[in-house]
Chain A
Amino acid sequence: MHLVIIGNGITGVTCALTARRLRPEARITLVADESPYHISRPALMYVYLGHLRPQDIKPYDDWFWQENRLELIQATATAFDAQASTLTLSTGAVLSYDKLLLATGSRSRPGEWPGRELAGVQGFVTLPDLEQMTRDTHGIGQAVVVGGGLIGIELAEMLASKGVAVTMLIRDAHYWGSVLPPEEAALVQRQLVVHHITVRYGTELAALLPDTQGRVRAVRTSTGEELPAQWVGLAIGVEPNADLARTAGLEVARGILVDELLQTSAPDVYAAGDCAQHRAPAPGEVAVEQLWYTGRQQGETVAYTLCGQPRPYRRGVWFNSAKFFDLEYQTYGRVPARPEPAEHSFCWQHPNGRHLLRLNFRRDTLAVTGVNVLGLRHRHETWHAWLQAGTPAPQVLAELGAANFDPEFFRQHEAAMVAAFNQQFPQHPVALRRRKGLFGR
């Protein structure tokens, strides 16, 4: 079998590694134009910050690919013929495949503002984006970041670390309004304040203004304000990279449409990761998933199907994590930005404004449905088990130490959390029973 994978991001590479394990004899080829080797996309910011060198964000050393017989081709896949099972590359080469996986990922949503094409205006998703930002931010004094999500705050941190004065334009009334409840967003806002980031909430970009050299000089906001900026980062989200699939005549909506086996409308052609759109997502789940973790899970799942062991994609218990300047964030299960009527939402905060725990649970069965932690580390396995079993919230709180994944000597807050819970829900009294660590049981 010749498996050809387009894209060497986490989805394509996870698929390749899983397929290698399942089918030691298969020929596996990865085609990508962004970089010769797989890189960790979430780590791009650390190269700019100077924590890491470009070669440090390769999850596998260069010898790894050859030793595991994974062929790498750096080229753009320009077209494929699903009838003839052939793929044409920008180098002119034609590859024939038995199975094809499209793992083309996503790209920055470009936006359509006047001045969008000016020098010094860009998104931040790819390695070329990092190179462009590296070139264009030397010697600048002010920058504007448009968008209040994960990439937006990363850009703010990167620029601020170089002494650049940053203003963020955020459409919502608080940070990451589509995901974070207001208390969580307030803690992030504290980080923005102590790191001297100016934020305009409820504000959008109206226009990008040029200097005489064709470079951005300033932005005008929806409130009419003009902010000087020699560099502007657009972080208003990403969209599936589906051009190749569209050209080949596949069914495409926002992303490449796939069934639960991640198969596209064409035979032997599959799509997974950011570029795929599920035809029938499970209730409460989104059709296009654009996370590192979902990319990895989809890549693994599709590898089974490609290797003749069909396996439908099941999202499983949701989880995610991020870091906002110095504030770590982990979430397990579902915690919507606005409370669901059928759920209680218990929220504990430390008075110092650096730690928060939110626990959502059903009003009827008391089963936990999700948790957010900020400035605390929690154990994935423990939460996975609690959420999958629908463990009642009082029991979870009594055993909360089991989920504590903070390093040794860190102050433990479980007692304060339980006290707050007992005050808020006296009808469900809880006594803390479990201490932290592997011996706590």
Chain B
Amino acid sequence: MTTAPVSPVSVPEKLLLAVVGLGLLLLLPVAFDGDAARARLCFFAALGLVSAGTLGWSWYTFGRGPAGVRLNDQWLRGSTARGALAWLTAVVLTGFYVVLYWFSSDNGQGNFGPLNQLVHALDPVSQALRRRPADQWFLYGTFYTLAVLLMGGRALWKYRHSPYQRIRTASVMFFQLGFAFLLPGLLLAFQRPEYYFSYFWPLKYDYLFPGTVSYLLKDGGPALGVFMVFWGAVMSFVATPVLTYFFGKRWYCSWVCGCGGLAETAGDPYRHLSHKSRAAWRWEVRLIYPILGFIVLVTALLWLGAAGVLPGWFTTPQQSGLPLVSGLSPVDGLSKVYGFFIGSIFSGVIGVGFYPLMGSRVWCRFGCPMAAYLGLLQKHFSRFRISTNGAQCISCGNCSNVCEMGIDVKQYAQRGEPIVRASCVGCGLCSTACPRGVLNLENGPREGRYQASQLISADSLRILG
């Protein structure tokens, strides 16, 4: 079939996009400039251009004119439909993560490899916030927070007709800036452990490892350290089930979590790229629950080892000669394997690097053990559901299309069934995009939560098989 015409790109739009592109290009000379002062100037000029261009373009595209669902041409432009620009973006993002994780550690003399100049350009900011020089993780945190804030601005304009989307977007921006950037920085400035109050085990898997707990108790001091350990345990084991019972998984995944925050803002242009097929759903189930099992096992073994109830072999370093784990005890080796494959490669490199190809929630959907845990709670112990409005569905598929978690929402809507799925993060975009007002995120009594509408006779045919 021929492709429909694409709406013309106006001159102001081209100019604003050029400003963004110029800013991104300006980061390259920063990386290779020998003159630190000039590199720093370049760096902040680059950030300024990217910020101004992104916000200017967002306002120009979404902020003027009438408010409403604006998804035009998203499957017709290469940048958001796996075209050349999308592949380029994916390669650059993936490359950045590879360099960040494995080639930019401090060499002991304050040199951070290929990212060295970029890191040191941030020294004044880091000194002001954290009272110490920047490192590669501060650079990453700054980029991350900036992405959430700038693209959050875009999301605020794009979805300004929906109070739910406005408030939710503001929430992820707030938690990223406050809880995942400023507060950890301030803690460091006061010589306290860099603790993220918005991340919990099992997503932040080491927060309940014996090593981290003893470190927090030691370095956090008697009051703060105990509070941090208490906070982490309570959030994981008490607040998570309680909040999920009342509001569903969304209280975390699309309102608080930093991974979700990036997906909902920077990842929003790519949300429709998630695969909706039954095969993708099967992969999801095959991956995410074993990963949850893996981290639960590792955590349990670490505690059993620390308590001394495991046979000695488990906690004795072994010269196995295996890559990655040689010289570690079997339990520490497992923890290392989890950290390398799941914590770094899956959540970072694939999770964000593949945004332009597989959508913004690859990690959340296929890998995140927190999402798996929240999902089980949401499916079985929650008041949350997405209601279908009687027989009003026209099977148009807009809901499935915007679902970043790859749920084929229309399969439920066209049968009049409520959507109760473990993976749903409650972003609400299906409801926002529905042209017939069919879908609504609701917390209601648990009785009849799966009850389909009487106004449409649901065919009982299988969808998962």
Which residues on A are within 8 Å of B, measured CB to CB? 10, 17-18, 20-21, 40, 42-43, 46-54, 56-59, 61, 63-64, 67-68, 131, 134-135, 137-139, 161-163, 191, 194-195, 292-293, 296, 300, 319, 321-323, 325-326, 328, 330, 377-381, 384, 405-411, 437-439
Contact = CB atoms under 8 A, between A and B. Distances in A.
A50 B76 contact: yes
B interface majority secondary structure: loop
Nearest to A317: B455
A194 B66 contact: yes
A326 B66 contact: yes
A317 B456 CA distance: 13
Given A321-B392, A322-B436, A380-B455, 20 more contacts: A18-B459, A46-B398, A48-B4, A49-B71, A50-B77, A52-B75, A54-B1, A56-B400, A61-B278, A67-B462, A131-B1, A194-B65, A319-B390, A321-B436, A326-B161, A328-B435, A328-B436, A330-B437, A377-B440, A437-B443
Interface string B146-189: 00000000000000011110010000000000000000000000
B72 A438 contact: no
A14 to B, nearest CB: 8
Interface in B424-462: 428, 431-432, 435-437, 440-445, 453-457, 459-462
Contacts of A328: 435-437
Interface of chain A, helix or strand or loop or mixed?
A: mixed
B396 A410 contact: no
B278 A63 contact: yes
Contacts of B277: 61
Contacts of B107: none
Contact of B397 (A21, A50, A57, A139): A57
B1 A439 contact: no
16 contacts: A21-B460, A40-B394, A43-B394, A52-B396, A52-B398, A61-B278, A131-B2, A137-B4, A137-B5, A138-B5, A296-B391, A321-B392, A321-B394, A378-B437, A379-B389, A408-B163
Given A42-B394, A50-B74, A319-B391, A381 B6 contact: no
Nearest to B68: A326
Given A51-B75, A326-B69, A162 B401 contact: no
A313 B15 CA distance: 60
B453 A381 contact: yes
Given A48-B4, A326-B69, A377 B437 contact: yes
Contacts of A58: 397
A59 B391 contact: no
Nearest to A164: B5
Contacts of B212: none
Nearest to B449: A438
Interface in B358-403: 387, 389-392, 394-398, 400-401
B73 interface: yes
Closest 3 CB pairs of A and B: A380-B390, A438-B444, A326-B68
A289 B65 CA distance: 37
Q: Which of B6, B75, B428, B460: most chain A CB closer than 10 A?
A: B75
Among B66, B77, B444: residue with most chain A CB under 10 A: B66
A321 B432 CA distance: 16
B465 interface: yes
Interface string B216-236: 000000000000000000000
A51, A68, A134, A328, most chain B CB atoms within 10 A: A51
B67 interface: yes
A370 to B, nearest CB: 16
A410 B164 contact: yes
Given A18-B459, A162-B7, A326 B67 contact: yes
A196 to B, nearest CB: 9
B278 to A, nearest CB: 7
Contacts of B457: 18, 300
B319 interface: no
Contact of A40 (B66, B278, B396, B453): B396
Nearest to B76: A50
Contacts of A64: 461
B251 to A, nearest CB: 12
B71 A51 contact: yes
A380 B5 contact: no
Contact of B2 (A134, A293, A380): A134
Given A326-B68, A409-B167, A411-B163, A50 B4 contact: yes
